[in-house]
Amino acid sequence: MAKRKLKKNNTCHSYSVASVKPKSQKEMAQTEKSANFALAAVALVVAVCVAPLAAEISSSDIHHHKHLSLKMDEAQLTVNNELSYEVQVSWMSQRCYQCLYQQLGVVPAGLEPGQPSSVNFVVSTQHEITLQINSTPIELELCKIPFHFGEHGNYSLWVKTLNASFGVNCSVVTDKDPVNSYIPILVAFLIYALLALVFAIGKKVWGLDAVRGLVLRLGSSMETERLINSELGPTRVVPPVTDNILPPPLTSSKRLRSLDTFRGISLVIMVFVNYGGGRYWFFRHESWNGLTVADLVFPWFVFIMGTSIALSINALLRAGATRCSLLRKAVWRSLQLFIIGVLVINPNYCQGALAWENLRIPGVLQRLAWSYLVVACLDLLVARGQLDVLTVDAWWSPAIDFLLYWPAWLCVILLEVLWLFLTFQLPVPDCPAGYLGPGGIGDMGLYVNCTGGAAGFIDRLLLGEKHMYQNPSSRVIYATRIPYDPEGVLGSINSILMAFLGLQAGKIILHYRERPKSIMSRFLIWGLLLGVVSAFLTKCSTDQGFIPVNKNLWSLSYVTTLACFAFVLLMLIYYIVDVNKWWSGAPFYYPGMNSILVYVGHEVFEDYFPFCWQMSNSQSHAEHLIQNLVATSCWVIISYLLYKKKIFWKI
């Protein structure tokens, strides 16, 4: 095609030359000189522009250099091999316990001495990883390098032969500095802290008598002027100013703000992490053993639900309600929660319209319903309508929480014995007894299809794989292959324990209602005891304890650890909000008063504006963080407006 075009152009040009008048020899020489100069200039421009491109293409063909498109939490690693044989590059996350190395790729042998071959790879930046360099085809380990790569950074791994020996030297060099992906979190924290400071200062200023008097005088004068200027203005009796400023009288059934504040804190964090948490790894659930921020909130919600059960049942019994009527109410409420969880909030909607073939049966609200029903029944078994303030002087007072409600404690202990027996003694096909691992590439790949051990086996047996959660967090690091449900059947036993510990917190509040110091000290004692139990079960380690802390399993140590945190945090909030009244609990108090509405609403309207919109760069932590914070703040504002209108959704 190019040759034909060139020939055609020459032909046209010859036609053009034949049609003009012949020039003198001098003019022709000058014209030829100008043409040669122009041709040389064009050739120079082409050489300058094309030569680097050709060199880049050649380098890409020989050395495999190419620019890789990096996504969120990714970096580029260029492996330069100067050895005379090809090497295989593998990797393993430091968060992956006893895992197989995953192949990253093969780098060809060096072209010649001093001229390495290079291959570009994309590596994860969420956690520190260990790179392993092996020779091929003989699997001989040459070196291992632990390194934590930074997001969008460019790095080079040089594999060289040592001069003095036949050993191999591996080193990582930073070619381009990574971006600091945590700056958006710092900026967001400073903005919210500034808003909180402005609100606190404004509240203090508004509390000054001079400021309030000025505002009230201005308001009164404006009202008077309006009435004078209005021909039909009605006469109204304005109540004295003191009537508006006096605090409301205290009642015996006054609601504790600390409970709603604690519930609101758990709910707000839950909404934030469900919306994505800015796509930061610590705002997502841990892949298997361990804790992240996302793993804290659901158990706290269950805990505070148990506390509310104790207070509400006691109040209803004192009001004259019968235990049978309260039991019917508990069953009906649990049934409503279960139905909403199955039919309204179901992750399988992502696969299309719901059908029985792929309907996920377990879930968050389903677990809340089950825990609520069992703990409410236990409390109705032992609850008292009239409670005396307990003394702390008797010798048996340290065990008073256990002794007063020993039948309920006995039931919970039997449930825990059942959990321990099923977890460690139930035979699971092709899996070792008592297996608590993730399967997949964990445990050196020996138990690929044993994810969750007995917990996963019971769910697959009772529910079927299609009725379970299809994308468990264990797939992220451990590359598991089978479905696993973190809200499964076996874990529900320990969620009952979590709610029952919250029930005990409620009993402490009821029995020591006139002694705030006793309430706080009992909370601290319970937190200390549960912390000691957690330390024993986990051996103060992530993976090497008897029972590791694991949200997917809702392990016993997970419950004791989170209950320890809950008792301490509730004590602090109770001291700040209800005892000293240093903080009103706002803004968390408002969503805590409308928890079911906020939770269901944030799930149903997840994909609608203003909770979600099209982002210009979906691979930016900052844009995701802004969207998730705006969505969460919208639900806080909605709950505040509903609170002002006295609209509460109760089930």
> Residue 138 — pLDDT band, cuts 50, 70, 90?
confident
Asked if pLDDT for residue 490 goes beyond 90, the answer is yes
Q: Which of 63, 64, 148, 285 is catalytic?
A: 285
% of the chain beyond a pLDDT of 70: 80
More confident residue, 214 or 152: 152
Asked if pLDDT for residue 45 goes beyond 50, the answer is no
Asked if pLDDT for residue 422 goes beyond 60, the answer is yes
pLDDT at 227: 47
Selection from 437, 469, 468 nearest residue 553 by Cα: 437
Q: What is the token pair recorded at 386? A: 């009239």
Alpha-carbon torsion, ordered 319, 325, 329, 335, to 10 deg: 170
- Per the CB < 8 A criterion, the answer to whether 77 and 122 are in contact is yes
User: What is the Cα 377 distance to its own chain's centre?
Assistant: 33
Strand partners, 154: 76, 176
Q: What is the pLDDT of residues 170-196, one digit of tens each?
A: 999 999 999 999 999 999 999 999 999
> Residue 1 — pLDDT band, cuts 50, 70, 90?
very low
What are the CA-CA distances from residue 324 to residues 125, 128, 241, 336 (Å)?
57, 57, 48, 18
> Residue 624 — pLDDT band, cuts 50, 70, 90?
very high
Alpha-carbon torsion, ordered 595, 599, 601, 605, to 10 deg: 150
> Residue 134 — pLDDT band, cuts 50, 70, 90?
very high
How would you class 46 by CB atoms within 10 Å of its CB: exposed for 0-12, middle for 13-18, buried for 19 or more?
A: exposed
Q: How many other C-beta atoms are found inside a 10 Å radius of the C-beta of residue 313?
A: 24
Instruction: Look up residue 412 and give its amino acid.
Output: V
Q: What is the token pair recorded at 105? A: 């790729």
Query: For residues 454 and 466, what is the distance between their CA atoms, to the nearest angstrom?
Result: 18
Asked if pLDDT for residue 535 goes beyond 90, the answer is yes
Does residue 67 have an active-site annotation?
Answer: no
Q: What is the pLDDT of residues 50-65, one digit of tens each?
A: 333 333 333 333 344 4
Query: For residues 236 and 395, what is the distance between their CA atoms, to the nearest angstrom?
Result: 64
Asked if pLDDT for residue 382 goes beyond 80, the answer is yes
Q: What is the pLDDT of residues 320-375, one digit of tens each?
A: 899 999 999 999 999 999 999 998 887 765 566 667 888 899 999 999 999 999 99
Q: Which residue has the tokens 């190419």?
A: 66
Q: What angle do CA 370, 371, 372 make, to 5 degrees?
A: 90
Asked if pLDDT for residue 15 goes beyond 80, the answer is no
pLDDT at 571: 96
- Per the CB < 8 A criterion, the answer to whether 595 and 280 are in contact is no
26-35, 99-108, 375-384, 510-519: the lowest-pLDDT one? 26-35
17-21, 146-150, 201-205, 585-589: the lowest-pLDDT one? 17-21
pLDDT at 66: 57
**pTM, two decimal places:** 0.82
What are the CA-CA distances from residue 274 to residues 267, 284, 293, 544, 631 (Å)?
10, 8, 12, 30, 11
User: What is the Cα 212 distance to its own chain's centre?
Assistant: 43
Alpha-carbon torsion, ordered 541, 546, 551, 556, to 10 deg: -120
